[in-house]
Structure 1
Amino acid sequence: MPTPSRSRLLPLRVLLLILAGVAAIVGEQDEQQRITHPGCPDKCGNMSIPFPFGLMPGCFREGFQVTCDHSFDPPRAFLAGSDTETTTNLITLTERDESAVSDDPDLAYSYSNTSSWAVELMDVSIDRSEARAYGPVTSRCSTNIAHSKLKEQAMALDERFAASETLNVVVGVGWKIGVTDGSSSSSYTTTFACRSELAGGHLEHARNGSCTGRGCCEAALSTQPGYEIVPGVSAENNTLWRTSPCSYAMVIEKSRYTFSTPDLYGDKVLPKRFPRGVPMVLDFAIVGDAACPGKGQRPPPDYACVSNNSYCVNATVGHTTYTLSYVCKCSEHYEGNPYIANGCRDINECKSPDLYYCSSNGICMNRLNGYDCPCKSGMKGDGKLGHCAEKFPLVAKAVVGTTISIFIIAVMSFLLLLHKEKKKTKEFYEKNGGLTLEKAKIIKLFKKDELKPYLKKSNFIGNGGFGAVYKGNLGNELVAIKRTISGSLLENEQFANEVIIQSQVIHKNIVRLIGCCLEVDTPLLVYEFLSNGSLHDILHNNDKKPLNLDRRLSIAAESADGLAYMHSKANTKILHGDVKPANILLDDRFVAKIADFGISRLIVRDKQHTGKVIGDMSYMDPVYLQSGLLTEKSDVYSFGVVLLELISRKKATHSDNNSLVSSFLEAHKREKSPDLFDNEIAIGEDLEILQSLAGMAVECLSLDVDKRPDMTDIAHHLLLLNKSRKL
């Protein structure tokens, strides 16, 4: 099969490959059906010519040449040389004439030359080593009351062929005849193969279809080479020669001749039924100087069984002078032509259920060297033997059926829930502004399944400004996942826009927003994770860690710098709304970063959440509480409380009068603020800086909003103090 050119256009290559595949399948089918060598014709008219038979030189084995006569329509096939060869394996029939007459009327005939019969083939069966052909009919016809003419023809066969003794019979037709094998010269010493006699000339005793000696006789084929007709001796012969002048003998395939009484009359009736001769079966074999090789022996030269999956069987054809002959067969479960390479092909037994049984409760499955017939689902046994029985009794079937039904219902319910969940996920995504954030392309949108494994008790860190916080690991990066309180955030584009604003805030002292998940009822926000927790934990946990003044001063300066950036340096002014130690986080080097910034802009402003979510009352600006107006000076007030906690290490609490704030302001008025300083840092050389920090806190806590400093001024002043400590 030619290979498609590589220079073809790519779209054509796909088509060519498909066509090549089809051609390969067709080619394989042709190979399976091949019966002769490549390039050799395998037909003569309507007849197949399988090797070792053949029509051309190189296409047949010696002795198996076939001649195709195209003068007929359709053409007819003849064994080459069958009309000229003379061998010992003959059905010998000679033609006699009335040129010399004996004194005995019954023997009034003489001999003439033998005429030959060309063997015309009807079909060839390789697997049975048989060829069907047309054979001659011997006839003896009376020319007058005293004379007759015996017409015989010689069928010459090569030593490779012989009439099948098992598939052919000898048939004689006549009112009084005997059919002999031709080995005797006188009817008085002849052993007849069969005899037919209608005593007294009562032709009405003959019956159509009956060949039991009344006008017709039949016998098994003898091993002798030929047959001839011997007339009966009877006075009635003188009166019947005009109405029944002929008798016949023939070697014919079993069941191919049915006696008919008109065959007894005249010399034209029976020959008209078989104008080309009578059908007969010929056995054939490979002859030579060697028989089948024994196990482990090398095959003889010119060995005929060349196909894989074939084997050799010793055989004897007729009375051949060769004692060594054999035929080739395809192995069990294979069929085809064993005389050609790869001629034996695997049988698909499933296509021949009459030959290869498989129970109706089995499933026929073809394989090399045989087939399988496993029982159908729910049954056990062997379908080849017809032993397929049900595996389960009725009760078990009921249980299994119920179980399967429950399983199907469960699966369908699961699929329904899954569909609803997907629909709900899509609705949440759109409700939470997913389409807006998709267009922005500046923040990572996480799938629910990516974050869900971390939202469990073992990963819980604590509660943030608007919900629980969990620790996670996404892409080898530690993150903090904040789960909002249901219904606490803005919806749709408002929330999306605020998230976009937060994601654009990039500062070393502000916690970075990495992304969010919008496929849940309330969004999940993903931030960078800071290992040292919050300033609240450092200051107020039971296992208080040492915290010197330098570190406290750095935390204050870094926190103020982050807030100053949000108030005046970001693209959009961002108000924190909940400044407190819990929202100041520390990394592994204790660098401070502002967390939960802009939370007030994200949170829905309703009565339910105003007191509970928007800011911690212990740090909230009293002016904001009265007016409801959140400004940057509100964050300044809250930062002032943070400064107090840093220098006192006391926790601010919410009451009618904040105990820490009120106590400190009172002490500051009496110039006794050092009484509130943390003993850990209240040493002589640092009191000046502590007083400076206390004064800054007092300014931030002023109830006169206009007197509170800006965060930029606070950040600048703290930066100078921090630098002075390092000089």
Structure 2
Amino acid sequence: MLAALAMAATAASLIGEPGCQTRCGDVDIPYPFGIVTSNGGVNCSLPGFEISCARTGNGSAVAPVLAGTDIAVLNLSVMPRPQARVLLPVAWQCFNSTGDSTGKSYGTVRFNADGVYRISDTHNELFVLGCNTLMYTNSGPPGRYKYTFYTGCMTFCNDSGSAQDGKCAGVGCCHVDIPPGLTDNWMQFGSTSTWSHADQEFSPCDYGFIVERGYYSFKASDLTTMPVNQTMPLRLDWAIRSGGNSSSTSMSCAAAAKKNKPQYACVSDHSECVNSSNGPGYFCNCTQGYEGNPYIVNGCTNINECARPTEYPCHGVCRDTEGSYECKCRAGYQNDGNPKEQPCSPKFPLAAQLALGITLGISLLIVAILLTLMVIHKRRMNEYFRKNGGSALQKVESIKIFTKDELNKITKNNSEVLGQGGFGKVYKGTLEDSSMVAVKSSIEVNEERKEDFTNEVTIQSQMIHRNILKLVGCCLEVDVPMLVYEFAAKGSLQDVLHGDGTHSRLPIPLDLRLEIAIGSAEGLRYMHSFTNHTIRHGDVKPDNILIDDKWIPKISDFGLSKLLKVDNYIATMVIGCMSYIDPVFMKTGLLTQKSDVYSFGAVLLELITRKKIVYGKNSSLIIEFCRLYDKEGSGRAMFDEDIATEENIFILEQIGKLAIECLKDDVNDRPDMNEVAEQLVMLRRDMKYGKAQNKSPRQFEGIATSDSPRSFATDTTSSSAAISLPSATPSREFPDL
């Protein structure tokens, strides 16, 4: 044992040629690498593997660099994969405010003069940072083009808020894998004529670099703060290209083995030659059961497998052998197979075997019963999944399908109840990213309703708007589908205005109420103008307007509160509060977008009076306000006293008049949601710039203002409006490679 330990210690210290320095700073320098000028004329490295041991910038310590360069070496390895971990510079180009270039660097460094290195394609990736730019690298001899291959990617930004931390998929940041055979760090920039960099202070520079996979994570702040002299770590594969002389001919294992011993790099016993998978040449490994440095005589030494049970398992008694190990069951135990792979079992007498057999039989029966129950349960969940339209919904990329187990984990088995929804309780949940969600029951789905349900869920998942409650996903492995929505921390507008068991009646200033009205109107306007579909909410009321922690309103409970096909105006069933429902719909069953306008008018009255839709003993807010307005030409007597100040009266009167317009009996006399939203935005402007004082009442003409957040082309004779989006699209032309 002492002899074996001494041999192992000798082999561990034998990483370089005798008489050569094998460490620089904190980095080991194993042969075929060697430090230049070590011990005079001693040949301490193979050609191309020279290392300089240089002083750091402040001269306080030494650190290795590739000889003839200033490229810092972080680590060198010979087994199991020959690699060098180094720091290479980042390529960059910068621009001034007019879009003119102020400087650039291609990141070019000379680290591969002897051709022994290749940038590892398996351990590195290429990143491009910036806005409106294209960068790429290339390598290989000429072929159809100047180089064998080109690899890179393109980024784009719309404005300073486009890029997001951790998101590197083309907006401010992109990354791609690299192919094998890349021999340098040279990055090239696409033509600056494709997109202008003028007035792009949020991204004054573009950056391109190859970096060790998993090392870099994108931060939006890097677009403005990354220094131009930045370096990044990456891994270089290396291989023996020649036989130890100045020949530049690349050798394979077959060719190298024919050379004389001094020219063949795999000199240790128990070593083997491996052809490089990244470029020409070969490298050496110790054979199975051995480790060390195969480039040094006697560098490969036996592994004591018994000391490494994780790598070399043994379920019995382990004994090390040269190049391998033995594993046998200990006395009194047996194994019909291989104790390296399977545990040994005791040698039992017949009675013990019978008892064990009976026990195992009962256990197997229990397991079989449990498996049968699991299969039945799985079939039931699969049937629910099919019944609830899972085959169609799992093809929709914008919605996540949660399993029943995932949903139970999210809600902690429905441990926290938020409230009571139209079809059951609403539960609080937490996703894996710690974001909060609300989980609620949907309608019960059968074959007749399946298509309606899947259509509504699909449309909901595709409606992305800050004032529409986002549908995160659904669970279909239950009898009644469960829907997962984003969480609104402050509850509903009903709770905020009127309070309940968990909400106190807090003061709400007029400007905040106006913002809630504008956001709610914008959400309904978006629904009414959503793509080519005709979306009607059908149940607009304060209970269905949720408020998040930043007081942003979110329209909720739409689509699934009714069974209504998108091309059908007649609602066969609507579940909602009768006090908010359009009287025209009550008489005719005709549900249009003007029905939502009527309900929204009632919401406006609640916002400015802070009275419930039915208040007192049995007073109707709509009837009483309209009666007061007809009698006195003003709703001042019913305004909430908390906000009915002289400076607010003009705005309150205008909101009240707008509400009355929405509540007109004739649907043709009601404004659409475009006009409603625009009038509210104009009132916000008036309040913001102090124009509400001494101003005559404004007629509601439905004219868009410059304050409007987006332009709409409105047809008042139609039930929908088409959104006019910006048409500016960057050029798709690419520079010639």
Query: Shorter chain as normaliser: what TM range?
Result: 0.3 to 0.5
**Structure in which a larger fraction of residues adopt helix:** 1
TM-score, normalising length: structure 1: 0.44
- Look at both structures and tell me which one has the larger radius of gyration over its CA atoms: 1
